[in-house]
A = this chain, B = another copy of it.
């Protein structure tokens, strides 16, 4: 038997459930051409279904985007919490978290490209929700920097807020220059960027 869930009918020739196929197609196309330049017609064609299917599972085109955001946001928050709450010196926790966000960003480069480029296409309500989650993430990261600054292992020359924005800026920017077929692996890039952050924070 093929790999297929118990609820048949929700899958077909593609082998994967229709909602996932739609989300995957939308993610790829949004990352390639941007949200506005991608029509729902193109999405449903890429997923091998029709508009009826899309609007059966999603309320609107916005919903598709919001779903993409939700996935990557939840993933990164979860991982950050894991690293931040570990039992290790603060400089190791920050370094691990700073490197990990780079790796997961590169591994989900399509999602994150969309995230940073199309945020303003969301309706005001969903936009606020996303901003709030993003803010939580930011603050968790900042708390790590502040902890290191309080205990003296990091320099306090720069406000922690700015340090975090500095690092996330480079993460945000990855979609603009990182090429999977380039010379550096995600891990190597992550190590370099984390190094830069830690070196900037040396007392």
Binding site for B on A (CB under 8 A): 33-34, 36-37, 116-117, 120-121, 155, 157-159, 162-163, 165-174, 176-177, 189, 192-193, 195-197, 199-202
Contact = CB atoms under 8 A, between A and B. Distances in A.
A38 to B, nearest CB: 11
Nearest to A116: B176
Contacts of A196: 158, 162-163, 166, 200
A120 B33 contact: yes
A169 to B, nearest CB: 3
Given A34-B36, A37-B121, A169-B172, A189 B162 contact: yes
A202 B37 CA distance: 44
A167 B173 CA distance: 10
Contacts of A202: 199, 202
A91 to B, nearest CB: 15
A193 B173 contact: no
A170 B165 contact: yes
A162 B193 contact: yes
Given A33-B120, A121-B37, A200-B200, A169 B159 contact: no
17 contacts: A36-B37, A155-B199, A158-B196, A162-B189, A162-B192, A165-B170, A165-B173, A165-B177, A168-B173, A169-B173, A170-B170, A170-B173, A172-B172, A172-B173, A199-B201, A200-B200, A202-B202
Nearest to A33: B120
A196 B159 CA distance: 11
Nearest to A189: B162
